[in-house]
């Protein structure tokens, strides 16, 4: 039998950790801080990749692949970027092992095979990419460059959690080069909007958009745009970032182009990314005490069919019917799995697919065959119904659309009910500690105030939202504030 999951309300963190493992999404490896993404979890990531990749290509981007390693001298070229990542780098110093003379059958690093220059395992690829763009760009005719890369990156982490914070993770990183400041900013904003659309339409996850405060801006960027989501425990999660890099990298790597008038100027840059962290966000947006709840758009299979049978003859009868049903589903672009294993009882299958968040379960037994009915179970609402088999394809098709919409709406109303406007620091602390969620408050725009608030409450400025121009007084210092910003504790 599948083990019972800890309740969300009892211990949200424990619930999350158990769910990831019990739903067979991922597990810790014996390599410090690195995770194994198991087939079921990876299948969700593949769906995410598929839809994002399509959106990138539809907006003119192409994929390419750049080296895993960054020589130290390139890594340190853009100083702010280097400083931002220096403390969390895996560093390759040698290129050969040799037999250990002291231990038979064991190996040791060959001291003679020391690299002249150390290689950093990429924590992000701006350095290695802009060092290449330097050779690709001479004139405005070479611009824009609109490239994306699907890759693994490494950021050494001391405290790790599956999907949310791991030393190695999977992501996509876009790196674009433009003639003008305006064009680069437009790209940055367009991608942030694209991420919002992906979160909404595929993950059924509402996000808030805005820009980061200086202290939360990407190392090496002028401005970081972001989408921020709210998890069920009231903590925020940064779900995607899109950086306007200005001319920082083109200056660090001396990338100039001749413009239409023949004058040389530095190229304008952007970079943007989302990662396998989105799997964590997906889990903590929709799931419940019974396990994962997946939006139909990202479910590895949307429908599971479980037969109820006492013997092989009954199974054969059910299987005949199911094979036809499966073809009907597939013709309607509905993915379906028929679990006809006979060593495992239906109850165990129910528990498994519930914890794995399969959107719809159909159950078929001998009685159903007689009545030409099928039992339909909806994962998000945990409700059951009995329907005619002949209506099952249209019913399932409509239900999947309805679930996708209703999961979004539920998450949206949860999120909206958890944005609280506060106007003094006592309320700020009270709301943060009781209700949680986003706190919309005035801020004087200084890093000092931001740091003080963080020190006292652990809340950070998640984003400075757009089009929110009501002036006021800072919730902490009382000084003048240009607009409300959104605070929260965050993953």
Tokens of 281: 């966000």
Tokens of 400: 């999947």
Is 49 exposed, middle or buried (CB count within 10 Å of its CB: 0-12, 13-18, 19+)?
Answer: middle
| Cα distance from N-terminal residue to C-terminal residue, the chain | 32
Which CB atom, from 14 or from 80, has the smaller least distance to a copy of itself? 80
Residue 169 CB, shortest distance to a copy of itself, in Å, is 10
Task: Please choose, from the candidates 400, 205, 204, 374, the residue with its C-alpha nearest in 3D space to the C-alpha of residue 302.
Answer: 400
Q: Which of 19, 52, 121, 177 binds a copy of itself (CB under 8 A)?
A: 121
Residue 335 CB, shortest distance to a copy of itself, in Å, is 12
Which CB atom, from 10 or from 260, has the smaller least distance to a copy of itself? 260
Binding string, residues 336-375; x marks residues near a copy of itself by CB under 8 A: -------x--------------------------------
- Per CB under 8 A, which region of 105-113, 223-231, 345-353, 431-439 contacts a copy of itself? 105-113
Site for a copy of itself in 372-431 (CB under 8 A): none
Task: Please choose, from the candidates 5, 8, 1, the residue with its C-alpha nearest in 3D space to the C-alpha of residue 286.
Answer: 8
Which CB atom, from 111 or from 467, has the smaller least distance to a copy of itself? 111
Q: Which of 80, 96, 435, 448 binds a copy of itself (CB under 8 A)?
A: 96
Q: Which of 17, 21, 55, 156 binds a copy of itself (CB under 8 A)?
A: 156
Spatial separation of the C-alpha atoms in residues 147 and 224, rounded to whole Å: 19
- The answer to whether 269 touches 247, Cβ cutoff 8 Å, is yes
Site for a copy of itself in 21-40 (CB under 8 A): 27, 29-31, 34-39
Q: In this structure, are strands 26-28 and 35-37 parallel, antiparallel, or unpaired?
A: antiparallel
Spatial separation of the C-alpha atoms in residues 39 and 367, rounded to whole Å: 35
Which CB atom, from 48 or from 120, has the smaller least distance to a copy of itself? 120
Spatial separation of the C-alpha atoms in residues 242 and 223, rounded to whole Å: 9
- The answer to whether 5 touches 15, Cβ cutoff 8 Å, is yes
Q: Helix axis angle, 425-434 relative to 447-457, nearest 10°? A: 40
Which CB atom, from 204 or from 351, has the smaller least distance to a copy of itself? 351
Q: Give the side-chain half-sphere CA count within 13 A for 460.
A: 15
Which CB atom, from 27 or from 313, has the smaller least distance to a copy of itself? 27
Does position 65 interact with a copy of itself (CB under 8 A)? The reply is yes
Does position 63 interact with a copy of itself (CB under 8 A)? The reply is yes
Does position 162 interact with a copy of itself (CB under 8 A)? The reply is no
What residues pair up with 237 in beta bridges, in sequence order? 229
Does position 46 interact with a copy of itself (CB under 8 A)? The reply is yes
Q: In this structure, are strands 303-307 and 360-364 parallel, antiparallel, or unpaired?
A: parallel
Does position 68 interact with a copy of itself (CB under 8 A)? The reply is yes
Residues lying near a copy of itself in the complex (CB under 8 A) are found at: 27, 29-31, 34-39, 42-43, 45-46, 62-72, 74-76, 79, 82, 86-99, 105-107, 109, 118-121, 128, 131-132, 141, 147, 151-152, 154, 156, 168, 170, 343
């Amino acid at each position: 039998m599948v083990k019972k999951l800890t309740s969300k309300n009892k211990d949200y963190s424990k619930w999350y950790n158990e769910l990831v493992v019990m739903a067979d999404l991922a597990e810790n490896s014996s390599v410090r801080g690195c995770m194994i993404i198991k087939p079921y979890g990876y299948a969700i990531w593949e769906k995410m990749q598929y839809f994002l990749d399509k959106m990138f290509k539809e907006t003119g981007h192409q994929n390419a692949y750049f080296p895993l390693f960054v020589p130290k001298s390139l890594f340190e070229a853009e100083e702010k970027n280097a400083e931002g990542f220096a403390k969390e780098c895996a560093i390759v110093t040698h290129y050969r092992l040799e037999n250990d003379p002291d231990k038979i059958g064991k190996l040791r690093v060959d001291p003679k095979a020391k690299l002249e220059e150390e290689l950093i395992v990429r924590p992000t690829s701006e350095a290695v990419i802009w060092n290449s763009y330097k050779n690709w760009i001479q004139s405005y005719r070479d611009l824009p460059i609109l490239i994306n890369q699907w890759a693994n990156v490494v950021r050494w982490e001391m405290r790790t959690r599956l999907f949310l914070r791991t030393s190695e993770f999977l992501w996509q990183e876009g790196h674009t080069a433009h003639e003008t400041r305006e064009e680069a900013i437009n790209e940055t904003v367009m991608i942030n909007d694209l991420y919002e659309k992906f979160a909404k339409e595929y993950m059924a996850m509402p996000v808030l958009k805005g820009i980061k405060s200086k202290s939360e801006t990407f190392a090496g960027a002028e401005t970081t745009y972001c989408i921020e989501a709210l998890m069920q425990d009231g903590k925020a999660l940064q779900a995607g970032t899109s950086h306007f890099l200005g001319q920082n990298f083109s200056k660090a790597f001396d990338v100039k182009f001749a413009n239409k008038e023949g004058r040389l100027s530095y190229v304008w840059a952007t970079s943007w990314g989302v990662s396998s962290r989105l799997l964590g966000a997906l889990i903590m947006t929709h799931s419940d005490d019974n396990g994962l709840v997946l939006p139909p758009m990202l479910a590895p299979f949307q429908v599971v069919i479980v037969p109820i049978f006492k013997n092989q003859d009954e199974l054969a009868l059910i299987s005949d019917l199911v094979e036809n049903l499966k073809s009907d589903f597939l013709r309607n672009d509905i993915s379906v799995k028929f679990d006809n294993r006979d060593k495992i009882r239906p109850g165990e299958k129910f528990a498994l697919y519930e914890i794995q968040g399969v959107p719809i379960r159909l159950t078929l037994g001998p009685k159903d065959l007689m009545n030409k009915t099928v039992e339909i179970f909806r994962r998000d609402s945990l409700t059951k119904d009995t329907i005619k088999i002949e209506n099952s394809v249209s019913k399932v098709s409509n239900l999947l659309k309805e679930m996708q919409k209703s999961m979004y709406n539920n998450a949206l109303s949860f999120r909206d009910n958890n944005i609280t406007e506060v106007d003094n620091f006592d309320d700020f602390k009270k709301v943060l500690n009781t209700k949680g969620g986003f706190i919309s408050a005035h801020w004087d725009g200084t890093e000092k105030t931001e740091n003080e608030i963080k020190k006292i409450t652990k809340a950070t400025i998640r984003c400075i939202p757009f089009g929110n121009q009501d002036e006021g007084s800072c919730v902490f210092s009382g000084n003048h504030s240009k607009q409300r910003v959104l605070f929260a504790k965050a993953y």
